[in-house]
Amino acid sequence: MSDTAIYVLVLTVYMLLLVGIGVLTSRRMRNSEDFYLGGRSVGPWVTSLSFVAAYFSSVVIIGGGAFGYRFGMSTLWIGASNVLIGIALVWMVLGRRIRLFTERLGTMTVPGFLAERFKAKEARVFAAFVIALFLIIYNVSILKGMGHAFEGLMGIPYIWAVLLSGVIIILYVSLGGYLAVVWTGFFQAWVMGLGLILLTFAALRAVGGLTEANVALRTMSPGLVNTPGEWGWAGMISYAMIVSFGVWGMPQLMVRFYSIKSVSVLRVGTVVATIGGSMAVLPFLNGAIARVLHPELATADLAIPTLTKAVLSPWGGAVFLAGVIAAGMSTFASVLIITSGAVVRDVVQKGLGRELSERQTVRYSRWVSALVGVVSLAIALRPPALVLVLTAFSWAAIASTCLWPMLFGLYWKRATRWGVLASMGCGLAAALIWIGIGSPFGLHGFIPGIVISLVAMVAVSLVTERLPDEHLDRVWGDG
């Protein structure tokens, strides 16, 4: 078989499996809670591995490899912060309360939780707009990453790659809703892990082992093995924060805790998610190894594709490509259904007050998911310059808006309606203004965004009236 035939065969089987999951899960669709939360019935393995799959996109694999290639072994810290702050602590600190509070408040979305928890209708529409706008921009960057991965690893033209992967995702998300998203995510996490482990073993064998890689890097430049090395503390820490602590405000990841069957899912789920999420360190390691094996690449983004072709057989390369595509598709699907929920639940039904029956809601949700997917796809085919600039900040904008309101909503009874509105407005404004003036000191806009958002949350809450005790008792389950 020729290399191309092997790649096409592996990918065709893979895409058919995904659509099959979409068809199977579409049979259990009775109401909107089924569409958006899988009827709150998801178990530990599917929840934890689909969390990991939604967290890491193709951008992380190719881009993480590029960071490893440029800065060397100190980038392992990004993987370590992902595992500790972005997974283990999130599951321990947020999981239980998100599940219990959202059920008591009867909400299915992040804007819905903020509105009901703080009795703030304005928070719902504001958060839904920020989430929908910046998640569509995030989706464009995910699709773009997949398109370039297809192009780099397989030679499929960018446009066809984007169309093919986009259409498949839109199909299974509109059909199967949340259950299709988490089941395909579960399956894709295994493919991602397999691809990354294959590449890592082959790369380590090619370079002669981890010790050899470190020795070779040090002879090139000591900054490639030291921490923070060539990167510097400010850049390294602010990047680690956005990609790890940012998770605490990301609706497509928080929703995994809404949908668990019961709190006891967290017991096994936390361990599985932390172990599965450890794969986050591998792209950085492989990027650093690529620096040893191929020191003269034109751009760092070529590190992973070049390494793959050099150390893996066509079958191994096809599996790795499937892993990269799996990373992108699972993230795109998770984001797509959240965007649809923000539009249908938070803007149309609650914001504009449109009365929809459960059957109508499911139908609307399917069409809106398809529409949002098609819009993301259309933008990704020829992204305008502004969208490309904003993709680097989509996490910063959403986290600056949602992170503290979520955390304080779960842990601080004194947080008030005005506190949360000030926190959301000031946080988003601070992040966007910082980005607008060109990110001074090389500091990511996420940092000023969450600092200002935190100050506004606490200061405004302390000078405004607290929420009634009976409401708080109901949320905390004391009543």
Partner 1 sequence: MGPFQTPWLTFFAWIVIGGSILLAIAWSVFGF
User: Among 28, 30, 205, 267, which residue interacts with partner 1 (rule: CB under 8 A)?
Assistant: 267
- Determine if 41 is a binding residue for partner 1 (CB under 8 A): no
- Determine if 402 is a binding residue for partner 1 (CB under 8 A): no
- Sign, CA torsion 393/370/148/292: positive
User: Among 14, 56, 71, 91, which residue interacts with partner 1 (rule: CB under 8 A)?
Assistant: 91
User: Among 41, 278, 439, 464, which residue interacts with partner 1 (rule: CB under 8 A)?
Assistant: 278
- Determine if 266 is a binding residue for partner 1 (CB under 8 A): yes
CA distance to 77, 209, 229, per residue, from 226 (Å): 11, 18, 5
Residues in 44-83 at the binding interface with partner 1, rule: CB under 8 A: 73-74, 76-77, 79-81, 83
**Encoded amino acid at 135, one letter:** L
User: Among 270, 286, 416, 461, which residue interacts with partner 1 (rule: CB under 8 A)?
Assistant: 270
Q: Which stretch binds partner 1 (CB under 8 A): 113-121, 132-140, 218-226, 336-344?
A: 218-226
Question: Is the CB of residue 207 less than 8 Å from the CB of residue 293?
Answer: yes
Question: What interhelical angle do 210-220 and 282-293 show, nearest 10?
Answer: 60
- Determine if 459 is a binding residue for partner 1 (CB under 8 A): no
- Determine if 26 is a binding residue for partner 1 (CB under 8 A): no
User: Among 11, 281, 344, 452, which residue interacts with partner 1 (rule: CB under 8 A)?
Assistant: 281
Residues in 128-147 at the binding interface with partner 1, rule: CB under 8 A: none
Q: How far is the CB of 107 from partner 1 (least distance, A)?
A: 25
Q: How far is the CB of 212 from partner 1 (least distance, A)?
A: 8
Q: How far is the CB of 344 from partner 1 (least distance, A)?
A: 35
- Determine if 292 is a binding residue for partner 1 (CB under 8 A): no
Q: Dump the DSSP string for 229-267.
A: TTT-HHHHHHHHHHHHGGGGG-HHHHHHHHTBSSTTHHH
User: Among 88, 206, 241, 458, which residue interacts with partner 1 (rule: CB under 8 A)?
Assistant: 88
Q: Which is nearer to partner 1, 274 or 394 (CB)?
A: 274
Q: Which is nearer to partner 1, 8 or 206 (CB)?
A: 206
DSSP 28: G
Spatial neighbors of 388 by CB under 8 A, at least 6 apart, are 141
Q: Pick the closest to residue 99 from 246, 318, 267 (CA basis).
A: 267
- Determine if 153 is a binding residue for partner 1 (CB under 8 A): no
Q: Which is nearer to partner 1, 268 or 387 (CB)?
A: 268
Question: Is the CB of residue 61 less than 8 Å from the CB of residue 194?
Answer: no
Q: Which is nearer to partner 1, 92 or 310 (CB)?
A: 92
Q: Which stretch binds partner 1 (CB under 8 A): 100-108, 266-274, 317-325, 423-431?
A: 266-274
- Determine if 206 is a binding residue for partner 1 (CB under 8 A): no
Q: Which stretch binds partner 1 (CB under 8 A): 7-15, 272-280, 407-415, 446-454?
A: 272-280
DSSP 139: H
Q: How far apart are CA 138 and CA 397, in angstroms?
A: 11
Question: What interhelical angle do 282-293 and 58-71 show, nearest 10?
Answer: 50
User: Among 57, 109, 200, 274, which residue interacts with partner 1 (rule: CB under 8 A)?
Assistant: 274
Q: How far is the CB of 246 from partner 1 (least distance, A)?
A: 17
- Determine if 265 is a binding residue for partner 1 (CB under 8 A): no
- Determine if 215 is a binding residue for partner 1 (CB under 8 A): yes
Q: How far is the CB of 203 from partner 1 (least distance, A)?
A: 15
Q: What is the phi/psi pair of residue 74, to 5°? A: -65, -20
Q: Which is nearer to partner 1, 93 or 164 (CB)?
A: 93
Q: Which residue do the tokens 């999130």 mark?
A: 90
Q: Which is nearer to partner 1, 242 or 435 (CB)?
A: 242
- Determine if 100 is a binding residue for partner 1 (CB under 8 A): no
First to last CA, the chain: 68
Residues in 220-259 at the binding interface with partner 1, rule: CB under 8 A: 225-227, 229
Q: How far apart are CA 59 and CA 280, in angstroms?
A: 12
Size of the site for partner 1 (CB under 8 A): 33
User: What is the CA angle 114-115-116, rounded to 5?
Assistant: 95
Instruction: Please classify residue 441 by burial: count the beta carbons closer than 10 Å to its beta carbon, then call 0-12 exposed, 13-18 middle and 19+ buried.
Output: exposed
- Determine if 165 is a binding residue for partner 1 (CB under 8 A): no
User: Among 13, 92, 378, 388, which residue interacts with partner 1 (rule: CB under 8 A)?
Assistant: 92
Beta-carbon neighbour count of residue 292 at 10 Å? 22
Q: What is the contact surface with partner 1 in residues (CB under 8 A)?
A: 73-74, 76-77, 79-81, 83-84, 87-88, 91-92, 209-211, 214-215, 218, 225-227, 229, 266-268, 270-271, 273-275, 278, 281
